[in-house]
Amino acid sequence: MSTYEMIMRMALQGPAVEVKNMASGDGVRLRSLLSHPEVQPHIQLRHGSSSQQGVLDKLVNRMLHGYDPHALHAGIYIKGQPELIGSVSLQNWNRHEGKALLGYMLGPSWWGHGYATEALGLLLDYSFRELGLKQIEGRCRGDNLRSARVMLKNGLTLERILPMADGSGDVMKVFTLSYK
Read off the CATH number of the domain in which 117 is found. Answer: 3.40.630.30
Predicted local confidence at residue 93, as pLDDT: 92
* Number of domains the chain is built from: 1
Predicted local confidence at residue 38, as pLDDT: 77
Predicted local confidence at residue 41, as pLDDT: 67
Question: Secondary structure of 144-160 in the HEC alphabet?
Answer: CHHHHHHHHHCCCEEEE
The DSSP H or E segment spanning 137 is: strand 135-141
HSE, CB side, 13 Å, CA atoms: give it for residue 95: 10
CA 65 to CA 62: how far, in whole Å? 5
In the DSSP assignment, the letter for residue 2 is -
Predicted local confidence at residue 44, as pLDDT: 65
Residue 112: which residues within 8 A CB-CB, separation 6 or more?
146
Which position has the higher pLDDT, 137 or 46?
137
Domain encompassing residue 131: 3-178
For the segment 95-108, what is each residue's pLDDT rounded down to a tens digit?
999 999 999 999 99
pLDDT confidence band for 136 (50 / 70 / 90): very high
